[in-house]
């Protein structure tokens, strides 16, 4: 699954054509689902009009070719439910939400109650998003496991760097068959798939969707030798995309502009890539493509 950026014009409007090109790139690359309006999609930052336009255009452009998810994070139950209602009205299939990110107290009982109350009234199935960077508190493994019990919560998206905690959830014998676990840390994706994760929510796939779609397919096909090689040779290079700017959205959008997909514009006051850096982005893209082609030539194509 790709966590999509939101292409914007210099005035902050939705770049419809850029968004269409981005979506088509993902589908052509073989991704299984698309997630808009998350943190890298600047969902909490874009205007209310752009938020609704992104949801509607995502559903319209995808046209049923893959599942669609939308970010619904906000700072109260009612505000989250309002966003979920708008996503449902647009035809988005799943809602993704973090804990409230304004002064959250960091207590397990409050967190469980929050997801329970939202899920009970949500028009969409809920993906509970563990994002300590935004919330200021990392949900412990025991709390994440308790979310299995909440009707209408169907998945955990988990984005941080604590491999031990993520491995425990990925391999948890308590996790029901219907309940998915999707890490959002691309650098750990291969190892967490081996541990039992169901897939990965990937930000660098905005630029390079096919290698990450192939990673999942090699894993499903039992080609663990190839998965290990990708983890050692390919993924570390591709995750460097996120390290060129202080925010993931700025980095990814800079590379997408260098690649002719959409502009580098972000929601003020968030930084955006300096135009002087675009030549370096183009060089990085050329090097990465050559590396990907060399790797792909050395292995058989995974089944689709």
Tell me the pLDDT tens digit for each residue of 182-198: 999 999 999 999 999 99
List, for residues 144-183, the tens digit of each pLDDT value: 999 999 999 999 999 999 999 999 999 999 999 999 999 9
Mean pLDDT, the chain, as a whole number? Answer: 95
List, for residues 68-121, the tens digit of each pLDDT value: 999 999 999 999 999 999 999 999 999 999 999 998 999 999 999 999 999 999
List, for residues 36-61, the tens digit of each pLDDT value: 999 999 999 999 999 999 999 999 99
Residue given tokens 């709390």 in the structure block: 143
Q: Where are the domains of the chain?
A: 2-221
The arithmetic mean of pLDDT across residues 121-145, rounded, is 96
Cα 67 from Cα 51, distance rounded (Å): 18
- In 3D, which of 119, 61, 113, 114 has the Cα closest to residue 91? 61
| pLDDT for residue 244 | 73
- Cα angle 128, 129, 134 (rounded to 5 degrees) comes to 145
Is residue 300 scored above 90 in pLDDT? no
Q: Are 127 and 95 contacting, i.e. CB atoms less than 8 angstroms apart? A: yes
Is residue 299 scored above 80 in pLDDT? yes
**Domain with residues 2-221, CATH architecture:** Alpha-Beta Barrel (3.20)
- Provide the pLDDT confidence category of residue 247 given band limits of 50, 70 and 90: confident
- In 3D, which of 126, 117, 59 has the Cα closest to residue 94? 126
| pLDDT for residue 94 | 98
Tell me which of 80 and 277 has the higher pLDDT.
Answer: 80
List Cβ neighbours of 239 (8 Å cut-off, separation of 6 or more). Answer: 186, 187, 204
pTM for the predicted model, two decimal places: 0.96
């Amino acid at each position: 699954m790709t966590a999509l950026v939101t292409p914007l014009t210099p005035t902050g409007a939705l770049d419809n054509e850029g968004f269409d090109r981005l979506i088509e790139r993902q589908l052509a690359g073989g991704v299984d689902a698309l997630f808009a309006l998350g943190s890298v999609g600047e969902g909490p930052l874009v205007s209310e009009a752009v938020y609704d336009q992104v949801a509607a255009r995502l559903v319209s452009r995808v046209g049923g070719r893959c599942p669609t998810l939308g970010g619904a994070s906000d700072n109260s139950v009612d505000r989250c439910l309002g966003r979920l209602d708008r996503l449902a009205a647009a035809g988005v299939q799943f809602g993704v939400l973090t804990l409230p990110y304004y002064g959250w107290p960091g207590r397990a009982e409050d967190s469980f109650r929050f997801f329970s109350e939202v899920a009970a009234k949500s028009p969409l199935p809920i993906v509970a998003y563990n994002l300590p960077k935004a919330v200021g508190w990392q949900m412990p493994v025991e709390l994440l496991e308790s979310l299995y019990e909440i009707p209408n919560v169907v998945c955990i998206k988990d984005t941080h760097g604590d491999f031990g905690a993520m491995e425990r959830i990925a391999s948890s014998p308590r996790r029901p068959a219907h309940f998915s676990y999707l890490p959002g840390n691309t650098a750990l994706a291969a190892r967490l798939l081996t541990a039992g994760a169901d897939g990965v929510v990937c930000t660098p796939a905005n630029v390079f969707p096919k290698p990450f779609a192939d990673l999942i397919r090699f894993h499903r096909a039992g080609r663990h030798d190839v998965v290990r090689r990708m983890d050692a040779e390919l993924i570390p290079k591709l995750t460097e995309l996120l390290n060129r700017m202080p925010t993931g959205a700025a980095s990814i959008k800079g590379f997408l502009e260098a690649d002719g997909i959409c502009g580098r514009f972000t929601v003020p006051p968030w930084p955006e890539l300096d135009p002087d850096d675009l030549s370096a982005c183009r060089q990085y893209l050329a090097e990465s493509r050559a590396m990907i082609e060399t790797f792909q030539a050395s292995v058989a194509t995974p089944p689709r």
